[in-house]
Amino acid sequence: MSIQIRNEGEISAILGKTPADKLVILNFYAAWAEPCTQMNQVFEAIATASPNAATYLSIDAEDEANASATEEYDVSAVPYFLFLKNNTFLQKVSGADPALLKSAVEKHSGFGTLNLPAKQTTVSSGSASNGITTADGAGGEDLVEDINVRLGKLVSAAPVMLFMKGTPAQPQCGFSRQLVALLREREVRYGFFNILADDEVRQGLKIFSDWPTYPQLYYQGVLIGGLDIVKEEFENDPDFLRPGIAPPPPPPTAD
């Protein structure tokens, strides 16, 4: 079984007492992201099949207590696996790719071939980005359709979804930083997508939602707006986005 990390200090303590030749694998995940659920199962299956091959750490990338770790290890998307030995970076595996994760463990642990149940090593049909599994577009009309299908899934990936520049732990723009601070202040739980890591989403969502800028906040797949709108909503309604209470309808257009 992997070790569930509760704060950044636990990672340092474990790294500090791990022998120099032993592999350490950090699994950064988000609870709301379906590809993370799948990869968490693969991670646990590997840890169970080969408990001595590595020290296996599971880290909730959205937990405030782990914010400095996600910053230090530059986690901009989940699932995200980091391979370390003697505190030195060896490899990262980003996205939901069970076969790649398995082969990276085999390569760096020196423990040979891992025997896992077949279903644990099947690569899903899509590629993963920012924690969301996407369809592989074939081109032309199919591709356009796939982008819209993908965006439709993305905006509903969590009840409250924030599309931002950077991550909550490391916002890359003042507007995104302010919106993260507002949500944190109001204790709103949300999923996030770093649009700087995916230009297709960055440009596509502007058209899809007819909103030209970031951040963009969605509630149950419906656009609420950018920073100015969300700020206004919080000022006008103390219950805005409070769990169990629906927000007012979204504004018709960006100005």
Ligand X SMILES: N[C@@H](CCC(=O)N[C@@H](CS)C(=O)NCC(=O)O)C(=O)O
Asked if 171 interacts with ligand X (CB under 6 A), we say: no
Sequence-distant contacts of 115-122: CB under 8 A, at least 24 apart: 115/49, 116/42, 116/45, 116/46, 116/49, 117/45, 120/41, 120/42, 120/45, 120/46, 121/42, 122/98
Residue 64: burial class (beta carbons within 10 Å; 0-12, 13-18, 19+): exposed
Give the CB-nearest residue to ligand X: 226
Q: How far is CA 227 from CA 33, 174, 181, 252, in A?
A: 24, 10, 11, 15
Our finding on whether 166 is near ligand X (CB under 6 A) is no
Among 44, 63, 67, 175, binds ligand X (CB under 6 A): 175
Report if residue 197 touches ligand X, rule: CB under 6 A.
Answer: no
Paired residues of 55 in beta bridges: 24
Contact code string over 217-236 relative to ligand X, x by CB under 6 A: ---------xxx--------
As a whole number of angstroms, the distance between CA 42 and CA 19 comes to 25
CB of 88 to ligand X, least distance (A): 35
65 lines the binding site for ligand X (CB under 6 A): no
With vertex at residue 195, the alpha carbon angle to CA 88 and CA 79, rounded to the nearest 5 degrees, is 45
Whole-number minimum distance, CB 54 to ligand X, in Å? 39
In whole angstroms, give the CA distance from residue 32 to residue 13: 28
Pairing of strands 216-219, 160-164: antiparallel
CA nearest to 38, candidates 108, 147, 106, 121:
121
31 or 254: CB nearest ligand X: 254
Tell me the window of 47-55, 99-107, 153-161, 208-216 that interacts with ligand X (CB under 6 A). 208-216
In the bound state with ligand X, the residue whose beta carbon lies nearer, of 21 and 199, is: 199
Amino acid at 9: G
Segment near ligand X (CB under 6 A), from 55-63, 83-91, 121-129, 209-217? 209-217
The CB-of-82 to ligand X minimum distance in angstroms stands at: 28
Kindly tell me which of 81 and 211 has the beta carbon lying closer to ligand X.
211
Work out which of 7, 18, 68, 213 binds ligand X, going by CB under 6 A: 213
User: CB neighbours of 38 closer than 8 A, spacing ≥ 6?
Assistant: 96, 98, 124
Q: Is 200 in the site for ligand X (CB under 6 A)?
A: no
Q: Given the complex with ligand X, which of 3 and 173 has the nearer CB atom?
A: 173
The DSSP symbol for 238 reads T
Q: Which stretch binds ligand X (CB under 6 A): 5-13, 30-38, 138-146, 210-218?
A: 210-218
Q: 79 or 215, CB closer to ligand X?
A: 215
Phi and psi at residue 151, to the nearest 5°: -65, -40
Task: Count interface residues toward ligand X (CB under 6 A).
Answer: 10
Binding site for ligand X (CB under 6 A): 165, 173, 175, 202, 213-215, 226-228
